[in-house]
Chains A and B, each alone.
Chain A
């Protein structure tokens, strides 16, 4: 009797140390459901064909990278709605600077990361120093970037050299480079949040900014760094997209709805919108849920508009699946 309780406690303790967010159960459930539906109504590729699994992950890479940045910002009780246009400006500028020449790659990467850092800095400074609500501040910054790129570029501009496409299409053994990069970003985010001083400060600022300030944190600095990091992940997503598309266009960011989807995946992954709670592993699961959904819908040949409806319903249900038991009111 006692042993059972102890072992159960040990098991629970073990679960707690590796900390699997409940959203992974939802991911497994969605995957099994999708696979079964595929088996019944289509050709059953999801279970039969292992490369499709890799494809699901590769498909999730662009959203996954930027969602990690979004997670950092949301943990700090902020939000970044400018990521879609940051992605666009990266894609356009990268292919514009590269012009299909391998020699220009380092220069282009330097330029886009500098642009990203400036965007993040502007976001962070507007929010912390001008006291503009993050929602409005990043919305406005997004509009500004949109105006700038639409005024300068109207269509596909320049191109990326073949060597740069290794980033999007290359493989390391059987594992695509893209997946390795996504994993590296997620692990970097995890280390930053759980093993670094900055991470603890960020949770503190997100939990209660006033308490954090009174305990001697420079809360403004923490938020500004989070915003810069978020913009840098958006830049990485933009680079990945342009390496796959071979040329950048102003609409790649907003077309992928990366702003709202990165927020949705973060929250589906269990990070609280109010800040102070959450992590990047949950976000990864949230992104993979979207990837599994896309693949399943493609397999079943669902009407694209119906796809949007189902996607909306599943976002709500996924979040509801672990909020409905909570005693705290949502707003």
Chain B
């Protein structure tokens, strides 16, 4: 009775209100991303074409994959600081294993995925069973992986990365309808995104990760096998880091410092994507768009023609501003 009166009296207002409610529920990362991306497009017209967008997506796919893995660890209440070192290890180790022979690409990738699995397992076990806080456990792992990789190759890259190994990061599927050229990196991102979306938002595993991040004790009492979930989270993160490493190496080539600072950039991307550090909140699509936002910021600053040092400074400012905006608008009203 009452409802019908309201709808009949103010149909338009209530429709507007429900639209407003819907708008308010959009995570803030999307408006932030679109504002930055549109400014990029206004400055450089190639970003308005499908090809330009595809190039942008190819470049940001590795960071998005890193962000998905890191997001799961962050959502469980932990940190993974070892992913940058894993990227370095993948690139340097592959340059050694390939020994300039394209036939070695497949075994090299398999070995790297295997190493990623081991690193994730060790991270997970150290955190779950030795009870070392993950910040320290993965910081130690970062030093071990980076030092180990450099020791393995003798301090400098050996040989180059073969073209078939690099294809994942830099090649396109040509003549795809609608898209024109479709980057392989984007296809990999899509596959990983769908897989992660399924396990994180549609399976028990994802709910268990979030509940651990929210309250470990409560989830333990309700029957979550905390160590197993945690170990799995670290393994997923490390393996995604290996995949991203292959793409980053494919895009950027061999470089000793290629993975430096990536862990912090990834965490920043996740936080822009609405993840709360210390756990309990996270979403796959938002993390991906967090990564896209970070990449768009870098592109924007390059387009403005600022020299590298200023880019750093402005990037710092924008990260703080974006996170302040996200956290102020998602904060619980007191």
Contacts and interface: CB of A to CB of B under 8 A. Distances in A.
A151 B317 contact: no
A15 B8 CA distance: 78
A140 B331 contact: no
Contact of B312 (A132, A150, A272, A315): A150
A311 B143 CA distance: 7
A36 interface: no
B147 A136 contact: no
A263 B81 CA distance: 13
A131 B333 CA distance: 13
A143 interface: yes
Contacts of A260: 81, 139
Contacts of B312: 143-144, 146-147, 150
Contacts of A144: 312-313, 316-317
B223 interface: no
Contact of B133 (A303, A312, A330): A330
A135 to B, nearest CB: 6
Contacts of B271: 133, 136
Given A305-B150, A311-B143, A331-B278, A323 B314 contact: no
A1 interface: no
Given A140-B319, A260-B139, A330 B132 contact: yes
A48 interface: no
Contact of B126 (A267, A307, A320): A320
A264 B134 contact: no
A160 B310 CA distance: 28
Interface in A131-156: 131-133, 135-137, 139-144, 146-151
Interface of B: 76-78, 81, 126-137, 139-144, 146-148, 150-151, 155, 212-213, 216-217, 220, 226, 264, 267-268, 271, 276-279, 307-317, 319-320, 323-324, 327-328, 331
Interface of A: 81, 126, 130-133, 135-137, 139-144, 146-151, 260, 263-264, 267-268, 272-274, 303, 305-309, 311-313, 315-316, 319-320, 323-324, 326, 328-331
5 contacts: A150-B308, A305-B148, A312-B141, A323-B131, A330-B133
